[in-house]
Amino acid sequence: MKEVAVLSTSRADFGHLYWPLVEMRSHDGLGPHLIVTGAHLSPEFGETVTEIRDAGIPVEATTESLLSSDTDIGMAKTIGVAVLGLADILGRLRPDMLLLIADRYEMLAPAAVALALRIPVAHIEGGEVSEGAIDDAVRNALTKMAHIHLTPTADARRRVLAMGEEAWRVHAVGAPSLDHLTRARLPDREALARRLGFSPDRRTAVVSYHPVTLDADTTGEADALFDALDGLDSVVFCFPNADAGSRRLIRQAQAFCERHTSARVYINLEPTAYWSLLSQAGVLVGNSSSGIMETASLALPTVNVGRRQAGRTRPANVIDTRADTASIRASMETALGEQFRSSIQGISNPYGDGQSSQRIAGILAAAPKRDTLLRKRALPLDASGFRHD
């Protein structure tokens, strides 16, 4: 039995980790131990640890880490607080492996603790690109600190290999968030309407917008977005990530809803409700990775605003736009038009087929023992870079 600690810090990453956790719990060779921290424990962000337990996933340990702050200093201190709490938890558990996902800044804490405690790290969704956020540097740092890589695309796998990682460690498995579409029962229109308090339709715009953390003014693009949303029939706001500037975005969304009776803001939507909403909406607008990685599986038009997701692989349903009001409005008009919607029917999603979780569990179960994983080999160089022979 391979004991695997799994870390979740927010509703966003738990939506990606849910099906891998289900697969790991049913696998004879794996014993998962979920550790919960960050926004999951914050009343301001919905205290979503309760949703994890309601979903039937046991929580091994919790540790407070998220400061009640809206600044970059608060972000930096959150990393330090998380290190202190996770050092005790991982020092007690001493798992065979730690499973981390994606690129949130607070993921640097468990990776650093695991490095000091000689715990191998498996990392989901390395090799991606998001040039407009600090997430890009975090993701690459996690890649070099990790020992098993579970990438969402073949291109992402090639980027990880280009960083000098040994080929046997790097596996293209797809994005596990897509497994909700193939494995979960999504609420139908009536059930979703009861959950949301209204019934979305093909004119509904779902807004998922986060601070642009690489900019000095992390919400500098937001005013143009909110101006562009004026006049839409129906708008649903999802809470932003707990980054510097998130409170300003929350206040703007709440003020927008006070002025528009057809607009609503939700602190948290559980994954099946979120997917059901996307399946019935007309467009997703914002700068979230969800718009890039997930909406293609529903052929949902997506308007990607500004710099945050620069460099990430785009499926055909994504319309990139500058962060100015006129450009965003024009892009939304195109996205909501029948011609564009018809043009993207049947497109494939480069981020996977909804079967990632089984692959992830199998790879983790078959991984070598700790000593082999920890001893990463420096690859030889040729004229063009690393050789993988």
pLDDT tens digits for range 41-84: 999 999 999 999 999 999 999 999 999 999 999 999 999 999 99
Residues 210 and 331 in one domain: yes
Q: Which residues lie below 8 Å from residue 313, measured CB to CB, with a gap of 6+?
A: 128, 129, 153, 155, 156, 292, 350, 351
Using CB atoms within 10 Å of the CB of residue 118, give its burial: 0 to 12 exposed, 13 to 18 middle, 19+ buried: exposed
| Helices 222-229, 246-259: inter-axial angle, 10-degree rounding | 20
Residues 220 and 264 in one domain: yes
Question: What would the mean pLDDT of 201-222 be, rounded to a whole number?
Answer: 97
Assess contact for 14 and 8: CB atoms under 8 A.
yes
Q: DSSP characters for 281-313?
A: -SEEEES-HHHHHTGGGGT--EEEESSTTTTS-
Q: For residue 270, what are the CA distances in angstroms to 180, 196, 239, 274, 287?
A: 11, 11, 12, 6, 20
Residues 246 and 271 in one domain: yes
- CA within 13 Å, CB half, 388: 14
Residue 181 lies in a domain: no
Residue 332 lies in a domain: yes
Alpha carbons 166 and 387: distance in angstroms, whole number: 9
- What 3-state class would DSSP assign to 40? helix
**3-state DSSP percent of the chain in helix, strand and coil, to 5:** 45, 15, 35
Which pLDDT value is given to residue 233?
Answer: 87
Q: For residue 159, what are the CA distances in angstroms to 87, 162, 264, 276?
A: 31, 5, 39, 33
Q: What torsion, rounded to 10 degrees, do the Cα atoms 307, 313, 315, 317 define?
A: 0
The DSSP secondary-structure symbol of 384 reads T
Assess contact for 148 and 120: CB atoms under 8 A.
yes
Domains in the chain: how many in total? 2
388 falls in which pLDDT band (50, 70, 90)? low
Q: Are strands 2-8 and 97-101 parallel, antiparallel or unpaired?
A: parallel
Assess contact for 316 and 347: CB atoms under 8 A.
yes
Q: Provide the 10 A C-beta neighbour count for residue 257.
A: 16
153 falls in which pLDDT band (50, 70, 90)? very high
Q: Provide the 10 A C-beta neighbour count for residue 35.
A: 22
Residue 182 lies in a domain: no
Q: Which residues lie below 8 Å from residue 183, measured CB to CB, with a gap of 6+?
A: 19, 354, 357
Residue 31 scores a pLDDT above 90: yes
Q: Tokens representing 22? A: 């289900």
Residues 298 and 328 in one domain: yes
Question: What would the mean pLDDT of 106-133 be, rounded to a whole number?
Answer: 97
Residue in 82, 80, 90 with CA at minimum distance from that of residue 9: 82
Residues 35 and 159 in one domain: yes
Strand partners, 92: none
State the CATH number of the domain containing residue 308. 3.40.50.2000
Give, rounded to a whole angstrom, the gap between the first and last alpha carbons of the chain.
Answer: 31
Residues 10 and 134 in one domain: yes
Residues 357 and 336 in one domain: no
Residue 387 scores a pLDDT above 80: no
Which pLDDT value is given to residue 231?
Answer: 87
Residues 221 and 262 in one domain: yes
Residues 368 and 321 in one domain: no
Residues 158 and 286 in one domain: no
Q: Are strands 318-321 and 302-305 parallel, antiparallel or unpaired?
A: parallel
Residue 389 scores a pLDDT above 70: no
Residue 159 scores a pLDDT above 70: yes
Residues 232 and 134 in one domain: no
Range of the domain at 14: 2-175+352-386
Residues belonging to the chain: 389
Residues 136 and 111 in one domain: yes
Residue 379 lies in a domain: yes
